Amino acid sequence: MASPPGHRRARVSQVALLLALCCCCCGVRGSPPASPSPKVPAVIVFGDSTVDTGNNNVIGTILKSNFPPYGRDMDGGGRATGRFCNGRLPPDFISEALGLPPLVPAYLDPAYGIQDFARGVCFASAGTGLDNATAGVLSVIPVWKEVEYFKEYQRRLRRHVGRARAKRIVSDALYIVSIGTNDFLENYFLFVTGRFAQFTVGEFEDFLVAQAEWFLAEIHRLGARRVTFAGLSPIGCLPLERTLNTLRGGCVEEYNQVARDYNVKVLDMLRRLRASRPGLKVAYVNVYENMLDLINNPSTLGLENVEEGCCATGKLEMSYLCNDASPMTCEDAGRYFFWDSFHPTEKVNQFFAKETLDLCYKELL
Report, as residue numbers or ranges, the catalytic residues: 49, 340, 343
> Which among 72, 180, 47, 71 has a CA at the least distance from the CA of 122?
47
Q: Omega before 69 cis (within 30°)?
A: yes
In SS3 terms, the chain reads as CCCCCHHHHHHHHHHHHHHHHHHHHCCCCCCCCCCCCCCCCCEEEEECCCCCCCHHHHCCCCCCCCCCCCCCCHHHCCCCCCCCCCCCCHHHHHHHHCCCCCCCCECCCCCCCHHHHCCEEECCCCCCCCCHHHHHHCCCCCHHHHHHHHHHHHHHHHHHHCHHHHHHHHHHCEEEEECCHHHHHHHHHHCCCCHHHHCCHHHHHHHHHHHHHHHHHHHHHCCCCEEEEECCCCHHHCHHHHHHCCCCCCCCHHHHHHHHHHHHHHHHHHHHHHHHCCCCEEEEECHHHHHHHHHHCHHHHCCCEEEEECCCCCCCCCHHHCCCCCCCCCCCHHHEEECCCCCECHHHHHHHHHHHHHHHHHHCC
Q: What is the number of other CB atoms lying within 10 angstroms of the CB of residue 92?
A: 29
> Which among 68, 203, 212, 201 has a CA at the least distance from the CA of 128?
212
